Amino acid sequence: MNFNKVSGGVCAPKGFVAGGIHCGIRKNQSKKDLAIIFSEKECTAAAVYTQNKVFGAPIAVTRENIAGGKAHALICNSGNANTCNADGIEKASLMCKLTAKALGIEATDIIIASTGVIGQPIDMDPIEKGIAALAPLLSADGSSDAAEAIMTTDTKKKECAVTFRLGSCMITLGAIAKGSGMISPNMATMLSFITTDAAITAEMLKAALQEVVDDTYNMLSVDGDTSTNDMVSIMANGLAGNAPIASKDEGFEAFVTALRMLSTELTRMMAADGEGATKLLQCAVTGAPSKDAAKMVAKSVINSSLVKTAMFGADANWGRILCAIGYADAEFEIDCVDVFLSSRAGQIQVCKDGFGLDFSESVAKKILLESEILIDILMNQGEAKATAWGCDLTYDYVKINGDYRT
């Protein structure tokens, strides 16, 4: 079965339109801050949310709105997280009502998300005017504007789309995402909104999303912080015309493969665009005694501030990698572990059976000066594998976050 990347983002699947504008939440008028995604037909829907005990009002409202597995549209603002505000639920609900009125749908059929500063009251005047202005502008070419409108400290828009054929029907999945800092998800990464024209039940949609999130978004870390507003949502309108996917059959597996391909691409984009980052890091663990152990080890290495700073300095300090492997909360034998570092400049082995090897520091430096670094960990004690993604930790990360609010 062929899976192909296409353009169009969330508007690539049939029946979806989107858009984004500057409505006035953010002071910088050149930055868009309000996005809407709309389907011409009501969708089955699913989402996963942050497990942070402090969570934004939009999370609570979305949970209630799509509890029945249905949604018709999505609205998201940037610049204000609408979190830890006494009137947060009231204002998130009002955003849904205003959006519903503008689109001619039910307020309970809306997914809502917010991102930005925590703990500041959100001004509804620009949002009310913005929704009224944005609704008529929604178009099949609006994914890029929507992707821009959900950005905060991101430096690049993140969107992707994938197609595959299921029987005689062409299925398309599209997505936009934002995420640059405050990323160490315990469900997903910051915000990612996925659309598809596949016909699939809400139950199978939820199962597919959870499976893919666990292997992609949940394996990303920029700085070890789990946000209060993390959400990944998916809407499926069925306009591709396929027989509805209602069980974990061949069609479901194909859908999961496409969703994983899409989500992996977005995860890599977010890792590469981490706040202040100069390098994309990928840690691939193979030969682990269990899937959980593989995930724990990969994420432990990617989370390590000392590993991240070593990669920034192009320093092949493999002891930091072994240290991070060693404190992973998993059962395994360290004296079987091999470690390799590689990039497009070459590959070098730095550790065998848990002990260091002689290697050329100059060759290692050349490898680590590249913009994408691979850390391969061969555990040699099973068949399980996992991959995690992250970035280096730089001086600019501190600069960005030192005065983020003020």
Q: In this predicted model, what pLDDT tens digit does every residue of 30-69 receive, in sequence order? A: 999 999 999 999 999 999 999 899 999 999 999 999 999 9
Output the pTM of the full model: 0.95
Number of domains in the chain: 2
CA angle 308–53–118, rounded 5-degree value: 70
Q: Are residues 201 and 263 in the same domain?
A: yes
Q: Are residues 105 and 185 in the same domain?
A: yes
Is residue 187 predicted with pLDDT exceeding 80? no
Total count of residues recorded for the chain: 406
Q: Are residues 197 and 135 in the same domain?
A: yes
CATH number at residue 101: 3.60.70.12
Q: Are residues 81 and 168 in the same domain?
A: yes
Average pLDDT, integer, range 70-75: 98
Q: Are residues 267 and 390 in the same domain?
A: no
Average pLDDT, integer, range 294-311: 97
Mean pLDDT of the chain: 96
Q: Are residues 331 and 265 in the same domain?
A: no
The domain of 143 spans 3-272
Among 226, 256, 272, the domain-final residue is: 272
For residues 306 and 383, give the distance between their C-alpha atoms in angstroms, rounded to a whole number: 28
Residue 181: predicted pLDDT? 83
Q: Are residues 234 and 294 in the same domain?
A: no
**Percent of the chain's residues with pLDDT above 70:** 99
The pLDDT tens digits of the residues spanning 308-353 come to 999 999 999 999 999 999 999 999 999 999 999 999 999 999 999 9
Which stretches does DSSP call E strand in 9-157?
A: 16-21, 34-49, 70-80, 110-117
Average pLDDT, integer, range 209-219: 95
CATH number at residue 290: 3.10.20.340
Is residue 188 predicted with pLDDT exceeding 70? no
Q: How confident is the model at residue 186 (pLDDT cuts 50, 70, 90)?
A: confident
Q: Are residues 379 and 343 in the same domain?
A: yes
Q: Are residues 130 and 211 in the same domain?
A: yes
Q: Are residues 341 and 238 in the same domain?
A: no
The pLDDT tens digits of the residues spanning 263-274 come to 999 999 999 999
Among 272, 295, 330, the domain-final residue is: 272
Largest CA distance in the chain: 68
Q: Are residues 217 and 72 in the same domain?
A: yes
Among 226, 251, 272, the domain-final residue is: 272
Comparison of pLDDT for 13 and 403, the residue scoring more: 13
The pLDDT tens digits of the residues spanning 76-87 come to 999 999 999 999
Catalytically active residues are 189
Residue 404: predicted pLDDT? 77
Q: Are residues 212 and 84 in the same domain?
A: yes
CA angle 197–203–204, rounded 5-degree value: 55
Round to the nearest angstrom and report the end-to-end CA distance of the chain: 51
Token pair of 313 as six digits:
């300095």
Token pair of 181 as six digits:
């800092």
Is residue 182 predicted with pLDDT exceeding 80? no
